Amino acid sequence: MDTHKVGSDTTVLADSLEIPGIGHIPVNAYVLTATEPVVVDTGLSIADRNFVNTLGSVIDPADVLWIWLTHPDRDHTGGIFDLLVAAPRAKVVTTFIGAGIMTTERPLPMDRLYFLNPGQSLDVGDRMLRAFRPPLFDNPATVGFYDEKTRICFSSDCFGGPMPTAELAESGHANDLKPEELRQAQLLWATLDSPWVHVVDPDKFRATIDPLRDMAPEIVLSTHLPPAVRMTASMADTISMAPDADPFIGPDQAALEQMLASFEPGGLPAAT
């Protein structure tokens, strides 16, 4: 994992996963050092990740007062229970549905929950965080937010895109890619992560992007994209194309067998 600042008081806790045939998917969590510090998501649910240890290089976990869970998928909840122990005063910001989904594996403690719906706001001492539903999402509990003080939008999965290398996924910026490369990466992710976009009314979908255009954030921080600075308008144009993009079709069994055949029994690629 890599940690780096975006602006004066926001830190990226960057990780990534390689998906064969797709690329390196960024998996970011964030720390907002407001008067009442906020952790946004808690990383991958993989045994070799130690989210709290990484977080401790940025802030004392005991000082964290809010854990904003943008939605309860496993790539957002890896360190949440360890963090609840390390941050005994912290509340988990989620929705009724989000808390319900978590109960299918391990329920969040009810006295540590703070329910917040799109359109509502959270006061973290020196700023208001305005909750909203991102235009693209893969979970009904998804809630992002806009930080009025820094003009940063935390968009959860929306605007994600696979990167060509792990280094770029964890340490780069969205504008490190050429505009057309970024557009294709984001459209691939949109059709992979939000396949419903092909079956909704395109005009109604595009209308959901307008509030984000009006918000006009200086920086967009997605879970699955390196930081995007002054790129909101172009990225909004990109996702507006998603209903007309080619649907994502994943590998079938024949492709899986071909991939397996390219590996030796020990899990290493066969020699060529």
Which one-letter amino acid corresponds to residue 56? G
Query: Quick one: DSSP state of residue 163?
Result: B
Tell me the pLDDT of the chain averaged across its residues: 95
Has residue 6 been placed in a domain? Answer: yes
Chain-centroid distance, C-alpha 238? 18
Mean per-residue pLDDT, 180-185: 98
Residue-wise pLDDT for 62-75, tens only, equals 999 999 999 999 99
Amino acid 270: pLDDT: 55
Segment (H or E) for 181: helix 179-193
b/e burial code for range 101-126 (CB count within 10 A of at least 16 → b) = bbeeeeebeeeebeebeeeeebebee
Amino acid 20: pLDDT: 86
Distance CA 239, CA 85 (A): 38
Has residue 176 been placed in a domain? Answer: yes
Mean per-residue pLDDT, 149-177: 97
Amino acid 111: pLDDT: 97
Has residue 256 been placed in a domain? Answer: yes
Sign of the Cα torsion 236, 150, 13, 135 reads: negative
Residue-wise pLDDT for 208-241, tens only, equals 999 999 999 999 999 999 999 999 999 999 999 9
Has residue 149 been placed in a domain? Answer: yes
Amino acid 210: pLDDT: 97
Backbone dihedral angles phi then psi of residue 61, each to the nearest 5 degrees: -55, -30
Has residue 267 been placed in a domain? Answer: no
Residue-wise pLDDT for 38-50, tens only, equals 999 999 999 899 9
Distance CA 27, CA 46 (A): 12
- pTM of the entire structure? 0.94
DSSP 56-71: TTTS-GGG--EEE-S-
Residue-wise pLDDT for 27-38, tens only, equals 999 999 999 999
Asked if the model's pLDDT at residue 269 lies above 70, the reply is: no
Has residue 269 been placed in a domain? Answer: no
Distance CA 217, CA 233 (A): 9
Query: Which are the contacts of 74, defined by CB distance < 8 A and separation ≥ 6?
Result: 44, 45
Quick one: pLDDT band at residue 7, thresholds 50, 70, 90?
Answer: confident
Has residue 268 been placed in a domain? Answer: no
| Domain extent for 216 | 2-261
Asked if the model's pLDDT at residue 161 lies above 70, the reply is: yes
Of 50-54, 172-176, 249-253, 255-259, minimum mean pLDDT range: 255-259
Nearest-CA neighbor of 152 among 28, 32, 235, 29? 32
**For the chain, what is the domain count?**
1
Residue-wise pLDDT for 103-122, tens only, equals 998 999 999 999 999 999 99
Amino acid 272: pLDDT: 46
Both tokens of residue 101?
């989904």
**Which CATH number does the domain housing residue 87 bear?**
3.60.15.10
